[in-house]
Chain A
Amino acid sequence: MADKSIRFLLNNTVRTLTDCNPNTSILQFLRAEEKRSGTKEGCCSGDCGACTVVIAELVNGDLRYKSLNACIGLMPSLHGKQLITVEDLKDGDRLHPVQQAMVDHHGSQCGFCTPGFVMSLFALHKNFPNPDQHQTLEALAGNLCRCTGYRAILDAAKAAANHGPDQFDRNKAYTTATLQAIHADSIRELTDGEHSAFAPNTVEELASLLQQHPQARLLAGGTDLALEITQQLKQLETLIYVGNVEELQIFEETDQGFTIGAALPYSEFTPRLAAEYPDFGDMIERLGSLQIRNHGTLGGNIGNASPIGDTPPVLIALGATITLRRGQQERTIPAEDYFVDYKVTDQREHEFIRSVFIPKAKADHALKIYKISKRLDDDISAVLGVFHINVKDGVIETSDVAYGGMAAIPKRASNCEAALKGQAWNTATIENAMQALENDFSPLSDVRASADYRMQVAKNLLKKCYLELDQPQANSRVVNYFDGGFISQKGATSHA
């Protein structure tokens, strides 16, 4: 029997929630039920950050603070966690140091985005007491401000560094003990009688729930699923929240590679993956925003089967595999076999993605990933190109090339690969392979790019890959221009 309630800390108060429609967003709960109006609705699609709240949760017995877009966070995901909103930051009458820094540095103008920035800054300083510019930009990339131009907010972020202990630090023992006490034990069900969300704790429970409720939708980070509720005004009848299933949260490293649980959020595994594949790490840092990556998962990015998902082309080019489970049965398939047609996958009824295996970097292989979008951060790719290439003695031994945004599914560029494999590593080969892309893809025109641009860029990215491998020292990318370090004024933002 499922326990028909969820329990969480709202700041320092344990809340037990029963009789609640699981389609309710955390933002709706805060504003309508709790009358906490400090958290704002800017877009209701997880793209502006005005509704940013912070979730504290226990990871290996320690408290971790993560920013979240409350507009697309659903209530079932709150069980066993602490929800902190802008109202909780003041200590009596005193502003929190991040709030005071925003005031002192004129970081608010109209003030509507401000609570969201304050919460992102709060989480940033909890995780990095003295954040550097890179960490600060990463923490704020999902918060849009239309008034300030951001300089004042960055100054505030800097000024709040090393602000010392706050009431959350002082309450740490209580918070930890309380969260441990309400941690998931039995299957949870949140229901209003018409809509239900189940929250299993084990893979067995999940497998069995899926067989009982074949129409149920799986909810992990919900960063895409919730848009059906907030944008299309749908009400989902049955949800299964997989975030409490520990086996789906694994990260295992062996000599062969990494096994990543389907429900492990990006921000939990990106640093380790980035150490192995720097380009993969750089790309994930531009996938959505930190609020999205704190909750969005690899399983979701795959299962969603979007033609513009950013990780699938990488998984295809790296020869990753996906392990699926149904009931007691498991099967493992190459990542590229998962994607069949537009939003059609090889996933069968009652089946779910359990984990993804990514092989370790192979000697002499290069991995180049290029994410092309209108805006640098938090923007869906027009084209994503991945090149996994091994050149030996001037000859291309292996060539795995895959693209996103070029077809109905994330797809390997077979003709291009064939034009590369076994050929001499030179411009003539590259020109041929660029041309071969026309046989691989006929992209569409949409709001992000025209078909012509997509094809031209797809070709040019191969050329860029060639030039980068050929002349590793050359300046070749705008996006991490400063990381290349050939301007000396980094951090010189100034005025009185």
Chain B
Amino acid sequence: MRNLPEINPAQSSAIKGGIGKSRKHESADKHVSGEAVYIDDRPELANQLHAAIGQSTIAHGLIKSLDLSKVREAEGVVAVITADDVPGHIDIGPVFPGDPVIAKEKVEFLGQTIFAVAATSHDLARKATKLAVVEYEELEPVLSVKKALEQENFVRPPHTQQRGDANAAIAKAAHVLEGEVQIGGQEHFYLEGQISTAEPTEDGGMTIYTSSQHPSEVQMLVAEVLGIPFNLVTVDMRRMGGGFGGKETHAAPWACVSALLARKSGQPVKLRLSRSDDMVLTGKRHPFENNYRVGFDSDGRIEGIEVTVNGNCGYSPDLSDAIVDRAMFHSDNAYYLNQARVTGNRCKTNTVSHTAFRGFGGPQGMMTIEGVMDDIARELGKDPLEVRKTNLYGTDDRNVTHYHQTVEHNLLPEIIEKLETSSNYQQRREEILEFNAANPLLKKGIALTPVKFGISFTVQHLNQAGALIHVYTDGSIQLNHGGTEMGQGLFTKVAQVVAEEFQVDVDTINVTSTRTDKVPNTSPTAASSGTDLNGKAAQNAARTIKQRFIDFACEHFNVDASQVVFADNQVTIGEKVMSFGELAQLAYTNRISLSSTGYYKTPKIHYDREKAAGRPFFYYANGAACSEVLIDTLTGEYKVTRVDILHDVGHSLNPAIDIGQIEGGFVQGMGWLTTEELMWNDQGRLLTTGPATYKIPAVADMPEVFNVELMPDEPNREATIYNSKAVGEPPFMLAISVWSALRDAVASVADYQVSPELHTPATPERVLAAVANLQKR
């Protein structure tokens, strides 16, 4: 049944940059010329100071004394603050308490802010921070998930989702397997580090220029630490040099500290974290240690499963409750689990508080079940793809998740079938078997894995958005909304939506910086929802103004509404044709308001967390990837040699931007699972504090053959903005195919009889160890 509540606009539209067009990024010309202004590029304000963070040097302990006299006397230092200088709230925990803006008596991770300095230069501020004399009473730190579990040291209580009786189903099953997978964290490595500038205003408030995915939360927290009403704080956010979740909650502390220093000194203060400080002071993707016990039949069909996901949350709750929930929600990925019990633990450790990162726990949840698919296949001597297909959600039955949401419009059987053909999976599988038989040193592996990712914030109230549109009397349009631009092309897509609504060229629309004084009380740009929410809000604002135009034209020219047609930068009213600008001018002189807000909230969603049941997701985004790898059995080195992707974005608003998100997400996911290794020592000190030791994918890591296609002719069945689908996070998890392909290559060493243990990141060292483990058998 096809049910398309939105009508797709005519594809023959003559305007430039309407929806469905591969319009360039709105800042592309400025990016390539160096003219795009990031916070650090803003001209210095008069008397502007530069700040740096004084950091705890132990992972867990009590501050017995804090002597900052040398810091205050240091060259260039103008202001020094401690927790005692915070006039308002000290706790800036975004959801639950636990994050002091400056630690007062207790430190809970190595690097935690214990004071801050403002000086006349960035380097002088950094140098001064090293002069503090601090005495601690050290406490035993918890530095592993294992220890946190033993001590039941959690930042939030455990939670369980279940359907049926998993234990009984496993007991009755013909085959039972159990296993564990350790999944490493990930540094965001946005190229632009965290930064904020605070400028005091005449009202005792602050204007904040920040690189943040959540300007409204920055506004709230700055106001709260200063102890002033929200309306005295204005946050301006034009663009980020990358976010990926790392600037959802973890941008705010630096805005708060710069505001506190600005308050103390009475001067504007810029706080820019150096790369090494950024890596030490800000949270990362949660490392997870998951385990499972699964019962299945001789076809590999799951009859019952128990999964436990253990997220390493670091020292505070931050967003971890929702992140571990999302890992639980995605413990099924694309598969019908039948009788299932999924438990999530939020482990507290004395490391930096881990935070949002593209996928928000979803990737770590999916890893378990994708590993299970491979393990079942090895146990039964089947091809892993066959086991995956056997377990896919059905279309009419076997289509209810372990949190009781019905999986509707499941495209995965079709996507997998198409990709299996286009990637030539079966023939390449045969070729790989031959290659591996003939080559003693190098081995190939291949895997085709799906993604089903739930779209919506699982915290229901965040699923709302606002926009503000002004039409000026020359017909030019200024567009503003609550979403933030971090490179994902949100501003471009939303401008395309407005261009489409008014049928004007997209370059007549200027998208301005996200500001809390333009659109208030906004949600973070996160959960892949930026376009879904803000596109709809902007569409609603545009439609309000358009309706006013139509009403005015009907009255003024005495025509019927059906005789008012917007097309090709013009408006036809009966027999009269005028430019969009002429209509705007005419409407203005007739006292018609040409400015409107727009608002949107996502329909249909509901979730009862007590019962762990409901419809947390408006819809699911789908995709699949087929990856081939080559490994060296003497060194563990490997290369991803070919990747084919087929991904579902509904009706694409901008195919070039969507493909950019898919490719970029995939490569970022590949980095997470392969070369990006975070290491802490036994004191809780992060050792990988820069790109010299933390290796994100470089250009030569991109698969040499990289075929990416959008699933054609599948508009979203839900009433999303022009029936498009969210694309920010889902492609990240397509990279699980690389991990699975690596395991496939390793398994060849023991003739595919054993499913190799391969924790991530699967560095060459881990791959070699996995090979050696199989060779020993």
Task: Indicate whether A and B interact.
Answer: yes
What's the interface size class on A, roughly?
Answer: 35 or more
The answer to whether B41 and A37 touch across the interface, beta carbons within 8 angstroms, is yes
A402 vs B659: C-alpha distance when bound (angstroms): 46
CB-CB under 8 A from A102, the residues of chain B are 28, 31-32
A447 close to B702 (CB less than 8 A) = no
For A446, the chain B residues whose CB sits under 8 A away are 687
Within 8 Å by CB of B699, from A95, A377, A464, lies A377
A143 and B188 CA atoms in complex are apart in Å by 16
A166 to B511 CA separation, bound complex (whole angstroms): 33
Find out whether the CB atom of A45 lies under 8 angstroms from the CB atom of B660: no
Q: Which of A405-423 contact B (CB under 8 A)?
A: none
| A332, CB-defined interface residue at 8 Å | no
B27, B35, B666, B690: the one contacting A149 at CB < 8 Å is B666
Query: Is B83 in contact with chain A by the CB < 8 A criterion?
Result: no
Instruction: Check A250 for interface membership: any CB of B closer than 8 A.
Output: no
Closest chain A residue to B29, Cβ basis: A103
A window 132-172: CB within 8 A of B: 137, 140-154
Judged by DSSP, the binding face of A is loop
Binds B, one of A175-183, A196-204, A208-216, A484-492: A484-492
A47 proximal to B (CB < 8 A): yes
A146 and B189 contact, CB distance less than 8 A = yes
Shortest C-beta distance, B636 to chain A (Å), equals 8
Q: Which residues of B contact A147 (CB under 8 A)?
A: 242, 487, 660, 664
Chain B residues whose CB sits within 8 angstroms of the CB of A137 once the complex forms: 699-700
B451-459, B520-528, B706-714: which lies at the A interface?
A: B706-714
Q: Assess the B679–A377 pair: CB atoms within 8 A.
A: no
Please state if B679 and A447 are interface contacts (CB–CB under 8 Å).
yes
If A40-B241, A103-B24, A489-B642 touch, does A482 touch B704 (CB 8 Å cutoff)? yes
A95-B33, A148-B660 in contact; A495/B239 too (CB < 8 A)?
A: no
Identify which of A1-9, A111-119, A274-282, A314-322 touches chain B: A111-119
Are B698 and A450 in touch, CB under 8 angstroms? no
In the bound complex, do residue B40 and residue A110 qualify as a contact, i.e. CB atoms below 8 Å apart? Answer: no
Question: What's the Cα separation between A99 and B635 when bound, in Å?
Answer: 40
**A239 lies within 8 A of chain B by Cβ:** no
**B693 interface residue, CB < 8 Å from A?**
yes
Chain B CB count within 10 A is highest, among A108, A140, A144, A482, for A108
> A37 to B631, Cβ gap below 8 A?
no
- Residues of A near B663 (CB, < 8 A) are 148-152
Verify A146–B275 contact, CB threshold 8 A.
no
Complex Cα distance, B130 from A231, in Å, reads 13
**In the assembled complex, which residues on chain B have CB atoms less than 8 Å from the CB atom of A113?**
191, 241
Query: What is the CB-to-nearest-CB distance from A472 to chain B, in angstroms, rounded to a whole number?
Result: 13
Complex alpha-carbon distance, A142 and B641, angstroms: 21
Known A141-B699, A150-B699, A380-B692; contact A86-B664, beta-carbon cutoff 8 A: no
Residues 85-119 of A contacting B (Cβ, < 8 Å): 85-87, 89-90, 95, 99-100, 102-104, 106-115, 118
CB distance from B626 to the nearest CB of A (A): 14
Residue-wise interface mask of B (319-338) relative to A, using a CB-CB cutoff of 8 A (1 in contact, 0 not): 00000000000000000000
Q: A106-B25, A372-B764, A375-B701 are in contact. Are A112 and B675 (CB under 8 A)?
A: no
Partner of B675, one of A48, A151, A374, A450: A374
Report the Cα distance A44→B487, complex, angstroms.
22
CA distance A35 to B764 in the complex (A): 44
Q: Are B667 and A150 within 8 A (Cβ)?
A: yes
What is the bound-complex CA distance between A143 and B691, given in angstroms?
11
Q: Which residues of A from 467 to 496 have beta carbons under 8 Å from B?
A: 467, 474-479, 481-482, 487, 489-490, 492-496
Q: Of A87, A143, A233, A476, which is within 8 A of B126 by CB?
A: A233
Complex contacts, A90 vs chain B, CB 8 Å: 33
A112 touches B242 (CB 8 A): yes
Of the listed residues A382, A450, A456, the one surrounded by the most CB atoms of chain B closer than 10 A to its CB is A456
Please state if B242 and A464 are interface contacts (CB–CB under 8 Å).
Answer: no
User: Which one, A38, A45, A118, contacts B691 given CB within 8 A?
Assistant: A45
Complex Cα distance, B764 from A448, in Å, reads 10
Note all chain A residues with C-beta closer than 8 A to B641: 481, 487
Closest A residue to B126 using CB positions: A233
A235 → chain B, closest Cβ, in Å? 9
The reply to whether B241 and A457 form a contact with Cβ atoms under 8 Å apart is no
B32 engages A45 (CB within 8 Å): no
Tell me whether A146 and B696 are in contact (CB under 8 A). Answer: yes
Q: Can you list, as one digit per residue, whether each of B482-501 has a CB less than 8 Å from chain A (1) or not (0)? A: 00001111000000000000
Interface residue? B37 (CB, 8 A): yes
B190 contacts the other chain (CB 8 A)? yes
Asked if residues A374 and B763 are in contact (CB atoms below 8 Å), the reply is yes
- A150 near B241 with CB under 8 A, answer no
List residues of chain A with CB within 8 A of the CB of B768: 453, 456-457
Cβ contacts under 8 Å, A474 to chain B: 439-441
| The residue from A109, A149, A477 contacting B487, defined by CB atoms under 8 A apart | A109
Q: Tell me if B765 counts as interface (CB < 8 A to partner A).
A: yes
Known: A137-B700, A370-B635. A475 touches B441 (CB 8 A): yes
| Interface contact B32-A118, CB-CB below 8 Å | yes
B690 A375 Cβ-Cβ under 8 A: no
Q: Mark A375-392, 1 if CB is under 8 A from B, else 0.
A: 111111010000000000
Nearest CB of chain A from residue B615's CB, rounded to whole Å: 32
Known: A151-B663, A376-B700. A111 touches B637 (CB 8 A): no
**A47-B692, A467-B441 known; A375-B33 Cβ under 8 A:** no
User: Which of A50, A103, A481 interacts with B32 by CB under 8 Å?
Assistant: A103
- The residue in chain B whose Cβ has the minimal distance to the Cβ of A102 is B32
Kindly state whether residue B411 has any CB partner on chain A within 8 Å.
no
**In the complex, which residues of chain B have a beta carbon less than 8 angstroms from the beta carbon of A267?**
none
Q: How far is the CB of B76 from chain A (nearest CB, A)?
A: 13
Q: Does A187 touch B at the CB level, under 8 Å?
A: no
B156 interface residue per 8 A CB criterion: no
For the complex, give the distance between the alpha carbons of A103 and B659 in Å: 15
Alpha-carbon gap, A489 to B704, bound state (A): 8
Given A109-B488, A147-B242, A154-B699, residue A494 in contact with residue B442 (CB < 8 A): no
Segment 652-680 of B: residues with Cβ below 8 Å from A: 655-657, 659-660, 663-668, 675, 677, 679
Alpha-carbon gap, A45 to B123, bound state (A): 15
Q: Is the CB of A477 within 8 A of B632?
A: yes
CA distance A214 to B487 in the complex (A): 50
Closest to B692 in A: A47
B28 to chain A, nearest CB (A): 4
A105 to B: closest C-beta gap in Å: 9
Whether B31 and A111, one on each chain, are in contact in the complex, defined by CB atoms closer than 8 angstroms, is: yes
A118: chain B residues at CB < 8 Å are 32, 34
What does the 1/0 interface line of B596-636 toward A look like (CB < 8 Å)? 00000000000000000000000000000000001110111
B635 touches A146 (CB 8 A): no
Within 8 A of B (CB), among A22-80: 31, 35-45, 47-48, 50
Partner of A478, one of B35, B243, B630, B698: B630
In the complex, whether A461 has a CB less than 8 A from a CB of chain B is: yes
CA distance A148 to B668 in the complex (A): 9
**A positions within 8 Å CB-CB of B:** 31, 35-45, 47-48, 50, 85-87, 89-90, 95, 99-100, 102-104, 106-115, 118, 137, 140-154, 231, 233, 370, 372, 374-380, 382, 446-450, 453, 456-457, 460-461, 463-464, 467, 474-479, 481-482, 487, 489-490, 492-496
Q: Which 5 A-B pairs have the closest CB atoms?
A: A38-B34, A110-B487, A112-B241, A111-B31, A149-B667
> 9 A-B residue contacts at CB 8 Å?
A37-B34, A44-B275, A108-B27, A146-B188, A154-B702, A379-B695, A478-B442, A489-B704, A494-B707
Q: A87-B34, A110-B242 are in contact. List 16 more A-B contacts (CB 8 A).
A: A31-B40, A43-B690, A43-B691, A106-B660, A109-B660, A110-B486, A111-B25, A112-B241, A233-B130, A372-B764, A377-B700, A447-B693, A450-B765, A453-B636, A463-B634, A487-B641
By a beta-carbon cutoff of 8 Å, the part of chain B in contact with chain A is: 22, 24-25, 27-38, 40-41, 43, 123, 126-127, 130, 188-193, 239-244, 274-276, 439-442, 486-489, 630-632, 634-639, 641-642, 655-657, 659-660, 663-668, 675, 677, 679, 687-688, 690-693, 695-702, 704-709, 763-765, 768-769, 772
